[in-house]
Structure 1
Amino acid sequence: MEIELEVIQSMLVKFKSERKWTLQAILQLSEEDITWSPNQESNSIANLVAHIRGCVHSRIETIFYDIADSRDRDKEFEHELKMSIEEAYNLTKESFDIIIQYLEYLSFNPNLLLSQPFINRPPLTFSQVNNETTVLNLMIAMVREIHYHTGQIIYAAKTRKGELVWQYD
């Protein structure tokens, strides 16, 4: 297998695993758990879910679906952000599905890994990458970003529930 396909497949495995564990954690929570945060400076699970969805929108949907970036990042971090369990579950699933769909597309077009999809677009905002970034760099940044926030979600879920029940299938 060529290195490009190995990288893409590794990312696919990672994101599918993250989706599974994050969705399982969310389903074990109450709506109060979703909006809880330990203090005014910390994010709730609702904030983290909204932020993940915003990242996926501005970094992947703008490329894959050529959708203009309409992200409202400040809203993602509003301390009183409300979200139902169903909304949190659906936004999380949708975010991961978009990432996975894009990686599956890349698996058939591995030559795109070194392309620069933002080069002729408006400047990226609130991003760890710039307009000259490659798809490979963007996806590596997404692995880090999503893993970081799903870890926060699972930690917050464990803080609220104690022990979580996992389905290993």
Structure 2
Amino acid sequence: MNLGKTYLQVVSSRFNAMKKQGDQTINRLSEEEIHWTYNDVSNSVAVIVKHLNGNMISRWTNMLHSDGEKPHRNRDREFEDDIGSKQELIFAWEKGWETLFATLDSLKEDDLLKSIYIRGEEHTVLDAIERQMAHYASHVGQIIYIGKQLLGDGWESLSIPKGKSQEYLDEMLKKHNNEKRS
């Protein structure tokens, strides 16, 4: 087993799972709901997606050879809600993730300990990946939370529904035992 290769596979799987939860939530929201905010200091789903897009494109483009904070990025503008439609939001969402996955898929185990820079601060590639994992997880969590607030009783769980933990565990153990016998 190769640790570096395994790590890259695991982290790719985790980013994919995170994206899937965001996809599922965004797909459930209407044109109006993507712009909803709780108050004036809160971000809408549209703003969060716009920020993720800007961050992903900046961090993952030419990751090994240029600072992760690209000169063309205007982070402050990412927090202006000027996304015109849900289609535009989905385009920005997909473009950010495509940039991330293209770079992640190109990385080799030897790259993980290379030094790169984000805003002039040195990181290993491994540390930069973990930094982005934490950052994106917090924002996807915000998107999910907003979706739950807006959809209320109409919300369908993205994981194990409340009150169904034991049922889910029993089902997984049964499945695992059946696979062992096969």
Q: What TM-score do the two structures reach when normalised by structure 1?
A: 0.82
Amino acid across the alignment from 2:86:
I
Aligned mates of 1:54, 1:167 — CA distance in 2:
26
1:71 alignment counterpart: 73
In the alignment, what sits opposite 2:114? Answer: 115
Task: Please state how far the C-alpha of 1:132 moved relative to its aligned partner.
Answer: 1.3
Is residue 127 of structure 2 the alignment partner of residue 137 of structure 1? yes
Q: Root-mean-square deviation (CA), in Å?
A: 2.3
Identical residues among aligned pairs (%): 29
Q: What is the number of residues matched between the two proteins?
A: 156
Q: Report the structure, 1 or 2, having the larger strand content.
A: 2
State how far apart, in whole Å, the 2-side matches of 1:26 and 1:54 are. 18
Q: How many angstroms does 1:74 deviate by?
A: 0.7
**1:51-62 equivalence runs, <5 A:** 51-62=51-62
Larger radius of gyration: 2
Aligned to 1:37: 37
Structure 1 portions without partners, runs of 5+ = 125-129
Q: Which runs of 5+ in 2 are unaligned?
A: 160-182
Structure 1: how far apart are the matches of 2:58 and 2:71?
5
AA aligned to 1:117 is: I
Q: Deviation at 1:166?
A: 6.7
Q: Which residue of 2 aligns with 1:127?
A: none
Contact 1:34 1:44 in 2 (8 A): yes
Q: Which has the higher contact order (CA 8 A, sep 6+)?
A: 1
1:146-165 equivalences under 5 Å are: 146-162=136-152, 163-165=154-156
